[in-house]
Structure 1
Amino acid sequence: MMKPANDGPNVRLALKSDSTDEASSVLACLAEIEVLIKGTWAPNIRFDLHASPDLPIVTYSRADLQSSIMNLLFNARDAMPKGGVISLTAALFYEGQAAPNVELGVADNGVGMTRDTLLRATDPFFTTKTTGLGGHGLPMVMSFVHGAGGRLYIESQQGVGTTVTLRLPISESEA
């Protein structure tokens, strides 16, 4: 089941970032994340990074891009209490004659979400976690993606896992 994220303006306003846009290499951002993740995760979780070498330099908030990806990776990790595989993919995505998009996907083979959970997943303060903080990650990711002019998609099936896809536009000059 694929669900485009809620487009409610209240989330964007409530989670507006103070970060500034800057020219950033998507590959460099992903490499930094890979080093951090591989050095800190339990051995029962395998992390696979598949990034196309032709990813452009983009103009987004580098901190918000990395924070968004990290939020998705932590959600995926938390959805796999017995371990599993998390894949982070990044490639160019073309829609007709328009400039390409950068498509980033985080997939896990964890517990997945019920239909009701999937429908509320991007609601601020909604969480399925019983302890600790929760309810801020996906709304923050959605805020970043919408602020960049992109789209957020969530696909999940109970017992199979979840895939979250960020489709971020890039300009002709960046392509």
Structure 2
Amino acid sequence: MEKRISEEKAHVTAILKGLILTITSLLRNIFLGDKPTIQYPEEKRQYSERLRGVHILNKREDGSPKCVACYMCATVCPAECITIEAGESSDKSIEKYPVRFEIDMLRCVFCGLCVDACPEEAIIMSKEYECSFYSISDSVYKKEFLMNRPSLEKGELGYRPEINPNLRGKGGKFLPFSFFSKNKS
């Protein structure tokens, strides 16, 4: 009997602590105006500089995509939302280029692995986090749409790999992994 009374006291104490916390929060929000709610269309939340937003496909100076259709981004993507179709390039310095480059935004999980995997830094992410569609076909972003993002012109770039200059060798190329295993001390 005594055990049951002590258990009930513990429950009542926990309930009272919860009620006190809730009432304190309510009164603080009413009288101090400390509201946690953001009125979304009028007010926008501040996000990190490295926000993983909508993708951007970088362009070369001549306007062609920087992508060399190596399929690394499509291979590493856990959601399998990237579709690439490669074509032979007439430019001898570029072996392949993407004839078709699509990202299905309904499947994308915005993990940023495609950005990390790209050896040419052709794909980056913007700070745009609002993407809505009227139809499912609008959710598949094509190459032309990805290359002409408004955030690219505004300079609102979000997540992109920060390359350590020590990882690059002569000519700006990445050093092979064998280089690092030999130089461990």
TM-score with structure 1 setting the length = 0.26
Which one has more relative contact order, counting CA pairs under 8 Å at least 6 apart?
A: 1
TM-score with structure 2 setting the length = 0.25
Of structures 1 and 2, the larger Rg is shown by 2
